């Protein structure tokens, strides 16, 4: 079995240029809001990860299979279909806290590590920031710097 190359890596692409090139004006404005939120929470300037993820910080992981890599600790992507926030860490023992926040968030969909928001007006931004903080805290507990 050949080793597969991880496609999502930090790049030198300008985050500001990427956001400026988002075709939809509302999504561009929302990206600026979510970027500011992540900068507040993480205290870090973002980097582009792959062609479309704006990420903050990084961590090294190793799967049980032995596959390893590096990924951003927090991030988002202003995709056409939905603003996608990467809330990593799966909350560990803080799932009840995450569930309580999600119950207050508003209109969203989620996947394993992704939160999809059609438009920011559909959610409570204070609650969203608390979810970003929770995810960031859990990632820092799981993967100390």
Residue 6 lies in a domain: no
How far is Cα 109 from Cα 126, in angstroms, rounded to an integer?
18
Residue 72 lies in a domain: yes
Residue 3 lies in a domain: no
Q: For residue 50, which of 18, 81, 7 has the smallest C-alpha distance?
A: 7
Residue 91 lies in a domain: yes
Tell me if 40 sits within 8 A of 55, measured CB to CB: no
Tell me if 68 sits within 8 A of 60, measured CB to CB: yes
Residue 23 lies in a domain: yes
The CATH number linked to 135 is: 3.90.1150.200
Query: How many domains does the structure of the chain reveal?
Result: 1
**Cα 140 → chain centroid:** 14
Residue 8 lies in a domain: no
Is the confidence at residue 59, as pLDDT, over 70?
yes
Which range, 27-31, 98-102, 138-142, has the best average confidence (pLDDT)? 27-31
Who wins on pLDDT, 124 or 66? 124
Is the confidence at residue 3, as pLDDT, over 60?
no
Q: For residue 34, which of 112, 97, 119, 107 has the smallest C-alpha distance?
A: 119
Is the confidence at residue 133, as pLDDT, over 90?
yes
Task: Show the domain range for 80.
Answer: 15-142
């Amino acid at each position: 079995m050949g080793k597969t190359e991880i496609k999502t890596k930090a790049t030198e692409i300008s985050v500001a240029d990427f956001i400026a090139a988002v075709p939809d004006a509302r999504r561009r404005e929302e990206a600026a809001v979510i970027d500011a939120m992540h900068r507040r929470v993480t205290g870090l300037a973002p980097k582009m990860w792959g062609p479309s993820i704006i990420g903050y910080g990084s961590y090294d992981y190793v799967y049980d299979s032995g596959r390893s890599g590096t990924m951003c600790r927090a991030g988002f992507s202003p995709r056409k279909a939905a603003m996608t926030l990467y809330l990593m860490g799966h909350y560990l023992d803080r799932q009840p806290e995450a569930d309580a926040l999600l119950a207050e968030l508003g209109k969203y969909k989620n996947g394993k590590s992704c939160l999809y928001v059609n438009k920011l007006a559909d959610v409570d931004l204070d609650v969203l920031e608390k979810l970003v903080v929770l995810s960031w805290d859990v990632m820092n507990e799981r993967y100390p710097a």
